[in-house]
Structure 1
Amino acid sequence: MDFETLRLDVDGTDTVVKAIGQGAPVIALHGAATLEGTRWAEGLADRFRVYLPFHPGFGESGPAPHITGMQDLVVHNLRLVEALGLDHPHLMGHSMGGWMAAEIAVVAGERFGKLVLNAPAGLNHPDHPGADLGAIAPQDLPGYLAHDPAVALRYFPGGAEAPPPEQFGVDREREGAALGNILKVHGMGHPNLGRWLSRIPNETLIVWGDKDRMLPPGQARIWADRIARARILMVPGAGHFAMQEQPSCVSAIGDFLAG
């Protein structure tokens, strides 16, 4: 199957969504960059219609300088679901997109089916701190994204799935500026997120690579304990890019959504 490109105006923001597959709808929210692409969604396309929006200022979507925090992205995505005409789609998110999906479910979980949080950011638990991005040397970053750095290197300049180096640099600079707008208020998380999670009504799957160096897998139990209907899928031998490193976990996610 090929990806389709949908373009919508969401509150004046040019929003591009990649879509693939047929079946029950799934909204999948990417993390703090788009370098790993969308090909992982092919593993769900035989059972689901997967919608992969680019956040404002990321990927192919237009800029949105009015965004000053995660709450703006929560509203943006709720309006995007309306614009797509979706009824109770499943919701999933990776890393920052997992934080985003969790906040959406906190305020509007009844509008969605099941919830998948893949190594979600946002909790900032002092006993399980995430990596300090500012302290990671560029040459070391692939080893933080995947347990096998060769997997992550596919998406960096010179890799099989990377754009030309100059385009890679332009994309990262643009997305870095958009990320800065999201993190203006509270940084990569919200101090009260842990208090809010008990409001999530959705059946939830917490997915985590057991070798994740970006966000520690020890956080998985904290998320699961605070979300009433949550279970954990720990992915052996995988880092932060668990779906790219161990594609079998995409099938497991599909089984959860279909079950």
Structure 2
Amino acid sequence: MAEHPQKPPLQKPPGYRDPTANSGKPAMTRPPPRKPVLPASFHPKKRRRNWRRACCCFIFVFLVILALVVAVAGALFYLWFDPKLPVFHLQSFRVPRFNVTVRPDGTYLDTETVTRIEIKNPNGKLAIYYGGTHVGVTVGGGETELGSKEVSGFTQGKKNTRSLKVETGVKNQLVDDGSGTKLKNGFKNKGLVVDVEARTRVGFIVHGLKIGTVGVNALCGGVSLKKLDSGDMPKCSMNLFKWY
């Protein structure tokens, strides 16, 4: 039996590659998808937060310890030295000149006053230093001012007593007609009520070291000229302000 002639194999086009053929090179793999990059503001800040916590804790502990040390030191200071504020008295009050003049344009006051304030330091272990002292004089329940003066600061020793002399006055000060009449009559019959106010700052001295100051307002007087002329020395009331 005659054989059928074989068909020639198809020719492959130039550049053709058999996908099943092993070229000897490793197959290429796709890289894994990249994670999206977050902004810097989304990154956790554990280290910075931990540092802040530690810093806050340290500051808190330091302040607590400092407060305890100050409290203990203050208690020991108070127990050992027993600090006391100075005592003020209105020692004397004189009026060398007191003129009330009525003119067509009003009533005028012309005065001169000399005030002595006695200051005692009751502390046996502490000296006291004073800042500038402002002294003001009024009469008639504070209605009429008779001038003021600033006294320089000074130091007062232990168990020491000091007298401050303050000269004040007014000249041609216009007052109400009714007030002028009251002032004139009150001065004649010695019933005029005098008030002296001394504002200062006081602090303590320990072995030459000055310790803070506290504002003090001493209110002296509220008494008549008659009582003051008889030698009465009223004690001044004290009002305290904040420490400096």
So what's the TM-score if we normalise by structure 1?
A: 0.19
- Of Structure 1 and Structure 2, which has the larger fraction of its residues in strand? 2
Query: Which has a greater percent of helix?
Result: 1
Question: Structure with the greater relative contact order (CA < 8 A, sep ≥ 6): 1 or 2?
Answer: 1
TM-score by length of 2: 0.20
